[in-house]
Amino acid sequence: MRNIWSPDLSALSGIIQELNPSKIILLVDENTHDRCLPHLIITIPELDGAEILEVPAGEETKSLEIASELWLGLNDLGADRSSLLLNLGGGMITDLGGFVASTFRRGMHFIHIPTSLLAMVDAAIGGKTGVNLGPYKNHIGTFCPPQATLVSPVWLETLSQRQLLAGFAEILKHALIADENYWQESSCVSEMTGDHLTPLLERSIEIKEALVLEDPEEKGPRKALNFGHTIGHAIESLSLQSEHKLLHGEAIGLGLIYETMISEKRGLISSEESERILATLKMWYADLPHETSPDKWWPLMLKDKKNRGDEVNCTLLKGLGKAFINQKLELEELRGISIA
């Protein structure tokens, strides 16, 4: 796996020449088809004559049914193991395309070109692929790194502020669990724009990549990446049943706030550190409408994939820039925290 920083995308030509694929197929959703594909095709001459597979945008597309249609599509196009699937899109496309490519004829070449902020710093890094199985998120999938993930900030220009803010939560998480200086830099961002966010991309990718390399099977250190996600996932799920549906990253922004508060309550971080962290997090995420009652979160938290037995297992902070994994949470301690 290679994560390649290539603002002008030019590195792609070299990788394609190196792989010398029998055929190139581009996977896009309807938005990346319109917003990103024209620029990519104009920029990379090697894509002249590439085939295109387009799927609807949205999380519902990340399914076995669509994967099956894509396998048939690849077959109809005459793809073989030495063909190359280029996944151009957000995390939905990189997860789905990675899954389809890693299983088609026991695995064909694939490259991710993440176009959402969340995919650039998170979904396209680390080699996890997958689709949802009915209500079960990412239930079917593979650990299979792409030949390369090619990151360019050029795609940030067409993303909505809301999508940028969602991806930014994972950047802030990376800073909080791994790098105080990087937190300092990230907390200075004053606007959700490509210009402000671009300087943060490389370090975020580096942090996730290092944790993945250290712990490919998610047995220990990689659990640091779950910070904000125990409460965040519960808030996300509850929002999806309400009229104020949150994006994953928005819910994680809220999860980071609450889990920072718990870290402080346990004396793992000082009140000065907590204040510093919360000033930034709250500025961006505190106003998002969401379920604030821990009693409502709790049933969902009990079902969290990351639990051990029937204990709720969480990652907290132990100082700014340091994660503290495998912490058991109790409902009672959640009841006292409030975002107000």
The Cα 260–Cα 138 span in angstroms is 27
Largest CA distance in the chain: 61
**Residue from the set 126, 232, 253, 294 that interacts with ligand NAD by CB under 6 A:** 126
CA distance 120 to 170: 10
Query: Which residues within the stretch 40-79 sit at the binding site for ligand NAD (CB under 6 A)?
Result: 57, 59, 62
Residue 227 makes contact with ligand NAD by CB under 6 A: no
Question: Which of 7-15, 121-129, 276-284, 298-306 is the region at the interface with ligand NAD (rule: CB under 6 A)?
Answer: 121-129
Per DSSP, the three-state class of 243 is coil
Q: Which residue among 163, 226, 239, 274 contacts ligand NAD (CB under 6 A)?
A: 163
**Residue 149 engages ligand NAD in binding (rule: CB under 6 A):** no
Question: Which of residues 128, 223, 229, 290 is near ligand NAD by CB under 6 A?
Answer: 128
Q: Which helix (DSSP H) or strand (DSSP E) does residue 84 occupy? A: strand 84-89
Judged by CB under 6 A, the residue of 116, 152, 186, 226 near ligand NAD is 116
Q: Write down the residue that tokens 């490389």 correspond to.
A: 202
| Percentages of the chain per state (helix, strand, coil), in multiples of 5 | 55, 15, 30
Among 11, 67, 159, 169, binds ligand NAD (CB under 6 A): 159
CB-count burial class (<10 Å; 0-12, 13-18, 19+) for 241: exposed
Judge contact between 68 and 92, C-beta under 8 A.
Answer: no
Distance CA 34, CA 176 (A): 35
The site string for ligand NAD over 5-44 (x = CB under 6 A, - otherwise) reads: ------------------------x-xx--xx--------
Residue among 26, 44, 122, 211 that touches ligand NAD (CB under 6 A)? 122
Beta bridge partners, 28, equal: 54
Query: Pick from 87, 102, 115, 239: which binds ligand NAD (CB under 6 A)?
Result: 115
Backbone angles phi, psi at 114, to 5 degrees: -70, 135
Among 37, 119, 164, 246, binds ligand NAD (CB under 6 A): 119
Letter string b/e over residues 297-310, b meaning 16 or more CB atoms within 10 A of that residue's CB: bbebbeebebbeee
Options 63-71, 110-118, 179-187, 320-328: segment touching ligand NAD (CB under 6 A): 110-118
136 or 243: CB nearest ligand NAD: 136
Closest separation in Å from C-beta 265 to ligand NAD: 28
CA 105, distance to chain mean position in Å, is 27
102 binds ligand NAD (CB under 6 A): no
Reference 171, options 127, 230, 228; nearest CA is 228
Q: By CB under 6 A, is residue 152 in contact with ligand NAD?
A: no
237 binds ligand NAD, rule: CB under 6 A: no
Contact positions vs ligand NAD (CB under 6 A): 29, 31-32, 35-36, 57, 59, 62, 89-93, 95, 115-116, 118-119, 122-123, 126, 128, 138, 155, 158-159, 163, 248
